[in-house]
Amino acid sequence: MHWAVDSAVAFLVVVLPLLFLEVSIWVVIVIAVVLGWLLAPWSRRAEIRALAAREAQARGEDPPAGA
């Protein structure tokens, strides 16, 4: 389901430039879905790291390495 949020963000990023270039809205949607599907693993890992850092900060600990 994470890919759906990434697809929505990708759509918002690419919709204006591609429509300005007169690309069909259906092509824009397909591009956004593919980008969302490809970026989902990366953004999921980034979210996990951010949540771990927030939890560590709430406990008063140093954030985990890489966060």
Number of structural domains found in the chain: 1
| Residue 46 in domain | yes
Is the pLDDT at 65 greater than 70? The verdict is no
pLDDT score for 2: 80
Average pLDDT (13-39) is 93
pLDDT score for 8: 92
Rg (CA), the chain: 16
CA 37 to each of CA 14, 18, 41, 63: distance values in angstroms, whole numbers, following the listed order: 15, 19, 8, 29
Q: Whose CA is closest to 1, among 26, 35, 28, 36?
A: 36
Average pLDDT (28-37) is 94
Is the pLDDT at 49 greater than 70? The verdict is yes
| Residue 63 in domain | no
Q: Which domain holds residue 24?
A: 8-58
Mention every residue, 6+ apart, whose C-beta is less than 8 A from residue 39: 6, 10
pLDDT score for 28: 93
Rounded to whole angstroms, the Cα distance separating 67 from 54 reads 9
| Residue 67 in domain | no
| Residue 29 in domain | yes
Average pLDDT, the chain: 88
